[in-house]
Every structure is written in C-alpha cells, then in structure tokens.
Amino acid sequence: MKHVLPVSWSEADGRGRVGGVALTELAARFGTPLVVVDESHLEDRLTRFRAAFGADAGLTYAGKAFLCGALVRLLDREGWLVDVVSGGELELVRRAGFPGRNVILHGNAKSAAELERAIAYGVGRIVIDHPDEVDDLRRAAAAVGSGHRPDLLLRLNVDLDPATHEKVRTVGPGTHFGMSPSVAASVARRIAGAGEWRLTGVHIHAGSQIRDPVLFSRVAEAAVDFVAPLRLCFPGTVDLDLGGGLAAPYRAGEEVPSPREYAEALQVGLDRSDAEARLGAYRLIVEPGRSVIANAGLTLYTIHARKRLDGAGEALAVDGGLSDNPRPSLYGASYEVLNASRGRGDAPRSFRVVGRHCESGDVIAPAATLPGDTAVGDVLAIPGTGAYVFAMSSRYNGVGRPAVVFVRDGAAREVVRRETDDDLLACDLSLGSPEPARGARPVSAAAVRPSRAR
Ligand code: LLP
C-alpha cells in the first residue's frame, strides 16, 4: 500500500496523516470533498526525474494532469517546463508568472485566438498537430504583429501499440493525434524550405498509464528514425520530445517503472537507433504528468449514509464522486479506500463506496475493505487521486468543484478554494444578483459576481 500513498504519509492510532497533518483535521478545517496534495511528495518526484534524466533534459510537466498557480511556481523554481493544451491552461501559467519560453503548447484543435495568445505570451515551443497549422500560425503571428516565432515541433503518429486503456492510447490505427511520418516529412520540408519558422524537432506521445518500458524504447527509436533522414530540415540541436505516459500505481501491489527505469528505457531506444551518430546534437524532452502528481494527492470525503443493499452487502454514500472524480466511470479506474477517522476500528468488512450522483455508475470503489464500525460522519481517503481527478472535475448535479490544499511540515495552505453556488451560477445571465435565501449562510462579498440583466 505504501507506494500508493504520499511520501509524508504517517499514522497515529491507525489514522492517516499527510505532511504532518491529520486528514480528519484537514476535513474539519476545509470541508469535503477535499483534494490534499503532499508538497514533499511532489518535490521528491521532481528531484527523482531530474536525477534520472540529468541537468540538460527538458523536463516538462503535463499540465493537463493537474494545474494550479502554486504548482506552477514550484515547477518554475525546480527548472521544469510546462506543457499546456488550451488558452485556459496558458492563461493559468501566464498569471502564475511562469516564463513563456518554458511553455510548450500542444493541441489537435488550437483556435486562432489560442495561437495568437501563445505568440503574444512568447511561448518557447508549439507542437504542430496537422499540416494546415503552419498557415494558422503564420496568420496568428501577423495578427499579433510580434516578431516572436516559437520553435516548432511536429507531432508524429507512429505505428506502435501501447498496452493501455484504449481511451488513453494516442498512437496507432484509429487515433487522431499528429501526422503519419510521410505527411510529417512533407511538412518538415515545407517549413524548412520557407525559412520563416525554426523547426526544432518532433514529438511523440504514445499514450498514458504505460507500464511496459519497452514501449518507451520504441518511441525513442521511432523519433530518431524519423528525424535522421530529414536532419537538414532541423537547424541546430534537435528537440526529441518523447511525450509522457509513465504509469502511476493505484492499487496495493501494483508495480510501475521508476523515473530511472523510464529514462533508461528511453536511452535504450536512443542507443539502439544510434541517435548520437545520426542526429548529432539533440535534446531529450519528456512530459510526465500522472507519474509526477498522482500519488502526491488524495481525496477526502465524508460519509453521509450507510445502508444495506438488497442482496449486495452494504453501501457507504459520500459527499462527492462522479463530479470530482470521473475516472472510475470513464476508464474503470480502481482505487484504495482508507477510513481516516477510525484507524483500525472493528473487524474489517467489505463496503461499496458510492458517490452522491444520480446514476448507478457513480461507484468510487465496488468492494472497499474498511473497519466494520465505519459510520456516517467518518472521513474516507482515496489515495492516488492527484492526477486527472481535480483536472477533470465537473459541476454535475450542481455540485461545485472541491478545494485543494497543499500540506507540508505540519502546515496546510488552501491553494484553490471550493466553488460556491455563486461560482456555479455566475454565467447564467437570467438569474440576476444573488439574494441570500432565507436561512442561508451569508455569502461573502468577494464571492458575489455582478450579473447582467435578466
Ligand atoms: N503529453 C501529451 C501530449 C499528452 O497528451 C499527455 C496526456 C501527456 C503528455 C501526459 O501523459 P501522462 O504522463 O500523464 O500519462 N484522463 C486520462 C489521461 C489522459 C492523458 C492525456 N494526455 C486518465 O485519467 O487516465
């Protein structure tokens, strides 16, 4: 179980603590559902990646896994780059004061406005997903009127078959990202021929939650094999951006490669394809998301109901679920569940832990083993929920998104506040200004947004 939990995890009387703070205390202070992120775990992961890849590698955090200002500042301090995929993510890193030159912009459907904002911000690299994007970029640069020209990378769709969930496989037949090597080769020649933009490299992201290191070696080989015959199209040092995808452990006993094994697997591919001799100077870029943040985070819920199910054991219904973590429904994701309130408690029993949403698929864990005296009001903790959970949360059933707290050395700081009803309703132009309902708690002035006429 330990490898699923944040590094600062400890227990007192069997009750969990992270960053030296009891989970029950966090729940009482900030409410639930709550996303708790262990800062020391994050730093540990960033350090392990740096040690595995060396000072020169372009370590790039995939912002889609989880993004907030506090994390962006930490990444900047540690010398990481950030990959973003939308105007919203771009704006978040910009407002956090992150240097544009350390941003990589991805996306298979970038809008003109997003390209313009990226150029105006001075992003370092843009990954071209399809041939027409070169013209889109030219128009965006003209519209912005800036002399800044981001370096360009071409996204390749190569013929590999990653062993992972079909929804997170991003190369091979049936996938819609990037270009085949032959199309990408003609785009490379076009960009090099026009001489207006610097084509610096290629990008391959084969998929996510990949456990088999051999796949990473193949990705590296495919990238080198593509660039080598076209080397003249890439002036200077070649960017070999080999994407993300390293798996994170979700369940006790689940083994995944370490950052070092990941780096070694990529190196095997680079060596096998003779990268140094065929490319000369190149820079390795990787874009891990999940493997950096997944196990730094856990989600806290409060149990609102315990009830017997007809012929199917007992259910514990909590105050979140599908809206703050759609992964069980989308990918059949499976998590551990811990009772943070009860420690060891009575003899363990199996419970179905369900969310609060109006569909039978809202099951956080179909058979969690928890103390038999687990009761309404107890706090449950779901480890491994740092990646693609808060980032994918919705407001389904009118449930606002949770708060996020960072913990370390016995202290907790709220880095994203919980969404209020006013946040939920702020874009509905027909609702008018909020009037506190009778008996409702007063709404803070800062949370009230002016709204347009009905
Ligand atoms: N680079 C690119 C271009 C990507 O599309 C992704 C993930 C990454 C890097 C980071 O991959 P990671 O190291 O996190 O595996 N929502 C899904 C995962 C979708 C991954 C999308 N792309 C889930 O919850 O499993």
Q: Is residue 329 part of a domain?
A: yes
Q: Is residue 267 part of a domain?
A: yes
Q: Is residue 66 part of a domain?
A: no
CA gap 340, 441 in Å, rounded? 28
Ligand 1 in contact with 384 (CB < 6 A)?
no
| Residue 445 pLDDT level (bands cut at 50, 70, 90) | very low
Mean pLDDT of the chain: 94
Residues 341 and 207 in one domain: no
Ligand 1 in contact with 415 (CB < 6 A)?
no
The yes-or-no verdict on residue 311 having pLDDT over 90 is no
CA gap 119, 65 in Å, rounded? 24
What is the residue with the minimal CA distance to atom 24 of ligand 1?
Answer: 388
Q: What are the pLDDT digits (tens) for 295-304?
A: 999 999 999 9
Query: Residue 223 in contact with residue 202, Cβ under 8 Å?
Result: yes
Distance (angstroms) between ligand 1 centre and the Cα of 244 equals 7
Residues 310 and 272 in one domain: no
Residue among 117, 126, 113, 110 nearest 93 (CA): 117
What is the residue with the minimal CA distance to atom 7 of ligand 1?
Answer: 208
Residue among 111, 419, 77, 39 nearest 90 (CA): 111
Q: What are the pLDDT digits (tens) for 129-163?
A: 999 999 999 999 999 998 899 999 999 999 998 88
- Site to probe by mutation for ligand 1, drawn from 287, 330, 382 as the one with most ligand atoms within 8 Å of Cβ, is 287
Residue type, 202: V
Residue among 65, 16, 8, 62 nearest 38 (CA): 8
The yes-or-no verdict on residue 448 having pLDDT over 80 is no
The yes-or-no verdict on residue 440 having pLDDT over 70 is no
Tell me how many domains the chain contains. Answer: 2
What is the residue with the minimal CA distance to atom 19 of ligand 1?
Answer: 168
Ligand 1 in contact with 334 (CB < 6 A)?
no
Distance (angstroms) between ligand 1 centre and the Cα of 289 equals 7
438: three-class secondary structure by DSSP: coil
Q: Which domain holds residue 268?
A: 106-288
| Residue 441 pLDDT level (bands cut at 50, 70, 90) | low
Q: Is 358 a catalytic residue?
A: yes
Structure confidence at residue 438 (pLDDT): 67
CA gap 127, 179 in Å, rounded? 11
Q: Which residues pair with 244 in a beta bridge?
A: none
Backbone angles phi, psi at 430, to 5 degrees: -95, 0
Q: Is residue 88 part of a domain?
A: no
Q: What's the Cα-to-Cα distance from 138 to each of 196, 200, 258, rounded to whole Å?
A: 9, 17, 41
**Portion of the chain with pLDDT greater than 90, in percent:** 88
Residues 379 and 413 in one domain: yes
From the candidates 68, 233, 358, 427, give the one annotated as an active-site residue: 358
Ligand 1 in contact with 246 (CB < 6 A)?
yes
The whole-model pTM stands at 0.94
Residues 6+ apart with CB under 8 A from 373: 342, 345, 346
Domain boundary among 288, 323, 350: 288
CA gap 148, 141 in Å, rounded? 8
Q: Which residues pair with 241 in a beta bridge?
A: 203, 285
Distance (angstroms) between ligand 1 centre and the Cα of 82 equals 13
Min mean pLDDT across 312-316, 329-333, 397-401, 438-442 is at 438-442
Q: What interhelical angle do 133-144 and 112-121 show, nearest 10?
A: 60
Q: Is residue 357 part of a domain?
A: yes
What is the residue with the minimal CA distance to atom 9 of ligand 1?
Answer: 244
Ligand 1 in contact with 66 (CB < 6 A)?
no
Domain boundary among 264, 288, 312: 288
Structure confidence at residue 171 (pLDDT): 86
Residues 354 and 262 in one domain: no
Ligand 1 in contact with 60 (CB < 6 A)?
no
On the 0-12 / 13-18 / 19+ scale of CB atoms within 10 A, 271 is middle
Ligand 1 in contact with 289 (CB < 6 A)?
yes
Query: Residue 42 in contact with residue 387, Cβ under 8 Å?
Result: no
Tokens of 69: 């200002």
Residues 138 and 254 in one domain: yes
Closest atom of ligand 1 relative to the 155 alpha carbon: 3
What letter would DSSP give residue 311?
T
What is the residue with the minimal CA distance to atom 5 of ligand 1?
Answer: 205
Residues 160 and 14 in one domain: no
Q: What are the pLDDT digits (tens) for 215-264?
A: 999 999 999 999 999 999 999 999 999 999 999 999 999 999 999 999 99
Residues 363 and 242 in one domain: no
What letter would DSSP give residue 156?
B
Residues 339 and 300 in one domain: yes
Backbone angles phi, psi at 103, to 5 degrees: -105, 140
Domain boundary among 235, 256, 288: 288
Residues 235 and 303 in one domain: no
